[in-house]
């Protein structure tokens, strides 16, 4: 099973929530969410995280989490607000 598409969804009535759908080549769709800082989270998702996740097995959660964390660590822990 491989990740083929990652999309983000927001709803007008829930502006502080960002939902994420992960599609696979076997037709399964996973759903996740995050809250607050939605514009930054969406930018990180589509600009950095999603390209790293495409083609990987979504069941390998620990490896993907560690790979993603290690890859984007150069951004630092404080976020874009500190660098601005």
pLDDT, tens digit, 9 for 90 and up, residues 18-69: 999 999 999 999 999 988 788 888 888 898 889 999 999 999 999 998 888 8
Tokens for 46? Answer: 């589509």
Instruction: Give the SS3 label for residue 76.
Output: coil
pLDDT digits (tens, 9 = 90+) for 17-28: 999 999 999 999
The pLDDT-based confidence of 70 (bands split at 50, 70, 90) is confident
Rg (CA), the chain: 13
Q: Which residues fall within 8 angstroms of residue 23, CB to CB, at 6 or more apart? A: 3, 4, 5, 6, 7, 29
Extents of the domains making up the chain = 3-83
pLDDT, position 76: 59
Assigned CATH topology for domain 3-83: Enolase-like; domain 1 (3.30.390)
Count how many residues are written for the chain: 84
pLDDT, position 68: 84
Tokens for 30? Answer: 């996973």
């Amino acid at each position: 099973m491989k990740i083929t598409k990652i999309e983000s969804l927001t709803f007008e009535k829930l502006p502080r929530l960002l939902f994420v759908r992960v599609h696979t080549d076997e037709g399964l769709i996973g759903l996740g969410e995050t809250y607050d800082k939605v514009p930054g989270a969406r930018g990180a998702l589509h600009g950095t995280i999603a390209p790293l996740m495409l083609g990987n097995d979504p069941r390998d959660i620990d490896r993907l989490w560690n790979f993603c964390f290690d890859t984007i660590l150069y951004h630092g822990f404080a976020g874009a607000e500190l660098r601005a």
